[in-house]
Amino acid sequence: MKLLSFVHQGQAGYGVLLNGEVADAGACLTLPSPGFAARFPDLGAVLAGQALPALAADVAGRAGSLPLAGLSLLPVLPRPGKIFCVGLNYKSHVAEMKRPDADRPAIFARFADSLGAHGAPLAYPGRSERFDFEGELAVVIGRGGRDIAEADAWDHIAGYACFNDGTARDYQRHTHQWTPGKNFPGTGAFGPALVTADEVGDVNSLTLTTRLNGAVMQQASLADLIFPLPFIVAYLSQFTPLSPGDVIATGTPGGVGDKREPPLYMQPGDVVEVSITRVGTLHNVVGPRA
């Protein structure tokens, strides 16, 4: 399934993308259990309630009811509980950053208000002179847990989405802590859809491509991850419980603007696209300086 969160006629909703239209879960679910939409008011609640199978069963064979073009998309999960980001997780990015190999992944956090949707403008942070792109695969947790074994990690993943970890490089490098450069409001993006794991299949066969104004900036196979997804899920769950709806941005490959010669940063009006095989394309235009 491809799952979307959106605003339609002033009301937030969610649904399933079917042939260019969206089956509105809040309007058309006919499950035997009454009050489905009231019990699961958003996609995060569906994940928390382990209700994806019921949603899939209900929309099976149904045509969409809302034209996708008429919807204003929201981030796939508008209110994720935790957003983890993995730094330096491709050899090509480690090399361009001139960092040594590590035994454990570099982990930092983003806040929910730092993320926008597919089609929304990326908010150019006015205090920054070095606004950079980072195309990534985002993992969405479907089943929570603590001390998850690597062998069981796939069972905890609901699906995947495209992610742009837009970064104010100057603020990122004020200290050894990256949080300030990663959390200006609206500087990142998450979408357009959550594609369930069964539809994506083998993650190692996916290719990630980031384009700036149509030119390829980053391209890598997900098989090139230094720390693969099961390791990341298991490691995170060692120090904090993972919950349904938590998001893990799994790292960016080499080719970031900051390490090009000369550096190439995003500017107002630039078009940024993050494409991942079988997951989709996240499209954003950089907005004016704040």
Per-residue model confidence (pLDDT) at position 32:
46
Cross-sheet strand order for the sheet of 215-221:
122-124, 280-289, 271-276, 207-212, 215-221
Nearest-angstrom CA–CA distance, 17 and 249: 23
In the predicted structure, residue 33 carries a pLDDT above the cut 70: no
Residues 177-214 pLDDT 10s: 999 999 999 999 999 999 999 999 999 999 999 999 99
Q: Average per-residue pLDDT in the chain? A: 93
Phi, psi of 173 (to 5 degrees): -100, 15
* Contact of 221 with 207, CB cutoff 8 Å: yes
Residues 43-96 pLDDT 10s: 999 999 999 998 888 777 666 689 998 899 999 999 999 999 999 898 887 777
Sorting pLDDT into bands at 50, 70 and 90, what band is 35?
low
| The two three-digit tokens of residue 280, written as one number | 């989709």
Domains of the chain and any CATH numbers: 2-73 (no CATH), 83-289 (3.90.850.10)
Residues 251-263 pLDDT 10s: 999 999 999 999 9
Residues 91-114 pLDDT 10s: 887 777 767 777 899 999 999 999
pTM above 0.85, yes or no: yes
In the chain the beta strands, taken as DSSP E runs, fall at 2-8, 11-18, 21-24, 66-67, 72-73, 83-87, 106-109, 115-116, 122-124, 131-132, 135-141, 157-164, 167-168, 188-196, 207-212, 215-221, 247-249, 271-276, 280-289
Per-residue model confidence (pLDDT) at position 27:
62
Q: What is the mean pLDDT of residues 263-274?
A: 98
DSSP 249: E
